[in-house]
């Protein structure tokens, strides 16, 4: 009797290029009872983003979306219940399209992108929608959490590790050359750059208008960010209080605000994008996430960037544009000082950052990517760009992108 043939072992598969097609976001609101989204649900913000992506790209058949990954840091209430799946259903995607929720605190949307990009690269699906949402007015950071007492009892982390503002003060302690004067100057510059970008029409085309409702004012339409304070001066910032430490250095002016908002992006295999006629805004080169001491979480982008550069064979001098999330000015300056980059460098956050427009935690990673993609279109002289951010509980994340409009490709 013949011996049954042994099934052939699966062969290794080539990894496909992954394209960032386009990103959009809602205007970012101020968290709280007086914020413009006080009476708007978090999942409805995500629905607006998904519908806008599909509206902008009628060449994408909805049934071709292979997954929907939506991040939220506080996964409860109107941003719970596996929000990627529920938002996909609410947005009108076919019921055959699955979805999931993801959490890496501030890097939630960034992780939604890198996770689904891996799936595209391996061929698990061709097109995804990835993004994030945070309604800090409905769900303040840390709402309902119950940290294991061992973190403090066993001295696994410093008590300050669970309060982001205190970790930023710790970063000042570690790098005394980063003074409050430097952080206030950086913050004023972020406000100025953002205001200039709005005036020039660089910030705005990516925004999704959102119908909003107020019991006091009735219905309205959110069309711009609520957080920015154009005209902010260093002198004004110098007079602000330091809530995390007496005579400290962190203020409401040199840190991002508490915000509500959602972001989303279409990712696709580059071959699928060409097949469907989808634009290729950026091409994924590589990424890395790294852990650091939780009490100085703001330094996280440094090792994450070093790892990402090493894995891609690039150096910091190859990066022509940086989108760095401005959770705190001190964290951005620590990154720049480490890599020998001037805090006035025009490659860094040329359109301002989160200190001006806000930081709705898990949504911010895709805001960075969306801005970088739009900058690439204007800068054919730049080949590589980077999105990077610090992450709560002591992490950092960095993603490196290639500009398909780079003149060297022509």
Within-domain flag for 123 = yes
The total of other beta-carbon atoms located within 10 Å of residue 275's CB is 13
The total of other beta-carbon atoms located within 10 Å of residue 133's CB is 33
Of 4 and 354, the one with more pLDDT: 354
**In the block, residue with structure tokens 């204007």:** 378
Within-domain flag for 293 = yes
Q: Active site residue: 106, 138, 172, 357, which one?
A: 106
Structural domain boundaries enclosing 265: 18-137+255-401
- Clarify whether 359 is annotated catalytic: yes
State residue 33's pLDDT score. 93
Our count of domains for the chain comes to 1
- Give the mean model confidence (pLDDT) for residues 292-300: 97
Average pLDDT, the chain: 95
Query: Would the pLDDT of 224 be above 90?
Result: yes
- Give the mean model confidence (pLDDT) for residues 18-47: 97
Within-domain flag for 164 = no
- Clarify whether 357 is annotated catalytic: no
Q: Active site residue: 57, 139, 172, 359, which one?
A: 359
User: How far is Cα 302 from Cα 279, in angstroms, rounded to an integer?
Assistant: 32
Nearest to 169 by CA among 251, 70, 51, 226: 251
DSSP conformation letters of 239-302 = TS--TTSTT-S--SSSB---EEEEEEEEEEEHHHHHHHT----EEEEEEEEEE--GGGGGGTHH
In this structure, what CATH number is given to the domain that contains residue 46?
Answer: 3.40.47.10
Within-domain flag for 61 = yes
| Spatial CB neighbours of 280, under 8 Å, sequence gap ≥ 6 | 19, 20, 21, 270, 273, 274, 404
User: How far is Cα 63 from Cα 328, in angstroms, rounded to an integer?
Assistant: 41
Within-domain flag for 152 = no
Q: Active site residue: 138, 139, 172, 390, which one?
A: 390
Within-domain flag for 11 = no
Strand 282-291 vs strand 18-25: parallel, antiparallel, or unpaired?
Answer: antiparallel
Within-domain flag for 217 = no
Within-domain flag for 2 = no
Query: Would the pLDDT of 409 be above 80?
Result: no
Query: Would the pLDDT of 1 be above 90?
Result: no
């Amino acid at each position: 009797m013949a011996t049954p043939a042994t099934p052939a072992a699966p062969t290794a598969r080539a990894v496909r290029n992954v394209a960032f097609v386009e990103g959009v976001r809602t205007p970012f609101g101020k968290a709280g009872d007086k914020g413009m989204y006080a009476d708007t649900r978090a999942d409805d913000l995500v629905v607006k983003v998904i519908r806008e992506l599909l509206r902008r790209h009628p060449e994408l058949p909805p049934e071709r979306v292979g997954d929907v990954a939506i991040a939220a840091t506080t996964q409860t209430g109107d941003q719970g219940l596996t929000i990627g799946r529920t938002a996909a259903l609410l947005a009108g995607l076919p019921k055959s399209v699955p979805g999931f929720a993801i959490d890496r605190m501030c890097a939630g949307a960034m992780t939604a992108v890198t996770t689904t990009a891996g799936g595209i690269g391996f061929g698990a699906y061709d097109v995804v929608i990835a993004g994030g949402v945070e309604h800090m007015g409905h769900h303040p950071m840390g709402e309902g959490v119950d940290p294991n007492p061992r973190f403090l009892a066993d001295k696994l982390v410093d008590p300050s590790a669970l309060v982001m503002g205190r970790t930023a003060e710790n970063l000042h302690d570690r790098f005394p050359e980063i003074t409050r004067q430097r952080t206030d100057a950086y913050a004023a510059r972020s406000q100025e750059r953002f205001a200039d970008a709005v005036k020039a029409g660089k910030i705005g085309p990516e925004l999704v208008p959102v119908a909003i409702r107020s019991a006091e004012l009735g219905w309205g339409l959110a069309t711009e960010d609520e957080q920015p304070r154009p005209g902010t001066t260093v002198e004004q910032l110098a007079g602000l209080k330091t809530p995390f430490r007496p005579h400290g250095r962190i203020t409401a002016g040199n840190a991002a605000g508490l915000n509500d908002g959602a972001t989303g992006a279409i990712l696709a295999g580059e071959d699928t994008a060409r097949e469907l006629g989808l634009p290729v805004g950026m091409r994924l080169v590589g990424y890395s996430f790294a852990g650091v001491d939780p009490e100085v979480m703001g330094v996280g982008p440094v090792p994450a960037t070093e790892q990402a550069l090493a894995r891609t064979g690039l150096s910091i001098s190859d990066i022509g544009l940086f989108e760095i999330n401005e959770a705190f000015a001190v964290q951005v300056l620590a990154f720049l000082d480490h890599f020998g980059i001037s805090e006035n460098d025009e490659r860094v956050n040329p359109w301002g950052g989160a200190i001006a427009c806000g930081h709705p935690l898990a949504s911010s990673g895709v805001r960075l990517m969306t801005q970088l993609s739009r900058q690439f279109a204007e800068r054919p002289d730049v080949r590589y760009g980077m999105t990077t951010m610090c992450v709560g509980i002591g992490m950092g994340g960095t993603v490196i992108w290639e500009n398909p409009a780079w003149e060297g490709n022509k």
